Amino acid sequence: MTEKNVSAPAAGAASEGNQLKRALKLRDLVFYGVVMMTLIAPMAVFGQVEHASGGMTPLVYLVGSIAMLFTALSYRQMSMEFPMGGSVYTYVQHGINHHVGFIAGWMILLDYIFVPSLLYNMVSYIAQGTFGIPFWIWILVFIAVDVVINVGGITYTAKADLVLFFVELVAVCIFIVGAIIFITKPGGVEFTLKPIYQPGKLNLQFIASACTIAALSFLGFDGISTLAEESLNPAKDVGKATIIALFTVSIFFIVQTYLACCVLPDWQNTDPSTGFYDAAAKAVGKWFEFFMVIVTLLAAGIANTLVAQSSAARLLFTMGRDRVIPGFFGKVHPKHKTPYAAIYSLAVFSLVIALVVPTDTLVRLVNFGAIFSFAMLNISVIVYFFGKKKQRDLHGIINYLILPGIGLCILLYIFTGFDKICYIIGITWLIIGIIIGFVKSHGYKEVPESFKHMEM
């Protein structure tokens, strides 16, 4: 592949009317990733992970962060080589071939297009329980706010991310300080290693099972790569921002869940739905529990869904521009230079899915698609750099074989933790994608028009 083709967007993006606006700096990309993962993400699933891991939630997040670190390194390698939008779809396409790239993009659609629906569903039920207003009204409100901001432009999205990030940061810091004060009071609970390690109870299978739940909290760092064509320096900043964002949220995830475990040491009796909020009320006060609910609504209902919708729309935009899905999704707003057709379509889709599909089913869909696609990304790094480019010196062996290989093995290990229903749904989605790819490529014999000029 020539230098020109590596650094430029796909040919389908060459025309002026089909390009996105470049405006994002490294700081914007980091905030985007952190907001999409959400600093307070473990709060929503803390009780579930406590039961699934036998009270070792911080350990689960530690394992999850290590797993995602190796995948983040693979994102960094591919984003430097191919500074384009499209995330896994683009990277696997260039790293292996167009057809495998389509399958990777199809599988991560399970993550990208269902995440907004999942978040709208979860936070709307929380809002309904708190304020008594029907959940479907909340879904409409959250979707409307996200659409207005995202169609308005990526700079508006970045500014909204920044404000809501600091709201989350304040909430987490209040909890950390309050929990430490509560734990250090004489005669009460104490700091313990039990949330990290319990002799005789550490079972790799239940850690894998718990990680399939906790993985939901990490999904989002990969969304940074969808902004490559709106970044001022994508080759340098996308990969760096991915690592920084993942490291930042990992520290917050581990610290806040460890303190929550210390505040509520009896994990068997921790409420699966309200576990973390119970810890917040116990450590800081009842007022803080209500405050945390409000922050959750802002963080997950607006901030998290905002970037989730943005990333999903940009993946649909890239695939639509390449004509592997209807070209309608590749349309760009003439004024704001945003993928408005994909944003509007995703909003309608999210509304319908959030209203009719159960939360637990959405969680399965999202996690299966993400883990599967991350595995394909690690494989593409090995195939492209170690195989095609023959970078097999010591540097190449470490960066293009060992590190992505470790990431792949960890993801396959986590993959064993999914239940039977999840495998059925995920494999069915995979088969549908294979059929669509077969039809669109006339038996996997043709590649998208926008890629025929490229040397693969």
pLDDT per residue as tens digits for the range 357-387: 887 777 777 778 888 888 999 999 999 999 9
Rounded to whole angstroms, the Cα distance separating 49 from 69 reads 20
> What average pLDDT does the segment 310-329 reach?
84
Average pLDDT value for residue range 146-150 = 88
Mean pLDDT, residues 444-452: 64
Spatial CB neighbours of 174, under 8 Å, sequence gap ≥ 6: 284, 288
Q: How far apart are the first and last CA of the chain?
A: 6
Q: Which residue reads 């319990």 in tokens? A: 198
> How high is the pLDDT of residue 8?
39
State the maximum Cα–Cα separation within the chain, in Å, rounded to a whole number. Answer: 72
404: amino acid identity, one letter: P
Question: pLDDT tens-digit profile of 244-301?
Answer: 999 999 999 999 999 999 999 988 888 887 888 889 999 999 898 888 888 888 877 8
Helices (H) and strands (E) in the chain, counts: 19, 0
| Residue 154 vs residue 428, higher pLDDT | 428
pLDDT value of position 31 = 81
- Which of 308, 331, 385 has its CA nearest to residue 111? 308
CB 71 within 8 A of CB 374: yes
Q: What is the pLDDT of residue 202?
A: 67
Assign 452 a pLDDT band (cuts: 50, 70, 90).
Answer: low
pTM of the predicted model as reported, rounded to 2 decimal places? 0.77
pLDDT at 338: 87
Q: What is the mean pLDDT of residues 212-229?
A: 75
In 10 A of CB 194, how many CB atoms?
Answer: 18
What's phi and psi for 216, nearest 5 deg?
-60, -35
- Residue 181 contacts residue 378 (beta carbons within 8 Å): no
Residue 83 has pLDDT above 70, yes or no: yes
- Reported as a single tens digit per residue, the pLDDT across 7-66 is 334 434 444 456 677 778 888 888 878 877 878 888 877 888 888 788 888 988 888 888
Q: Kindly report, residue by residue over 330-359, the tens digit of the pLDDT.
A: 898 888 888 899 999 999 999 998 898 887
* Cα gap 329→295, rounded to integer Å: 33
Question: Which is nearest to 215 in space by CA: 353, 78, 73, 37?
Answer: 37
For residues 45 and 354, give the distance between their C-alpha atoms in angstroms, rounded to a whole number: 18
pLDDT of residue 124: 87
For residues 323 and 384, which has the higher predicted lDDT (pLDDT)? 384
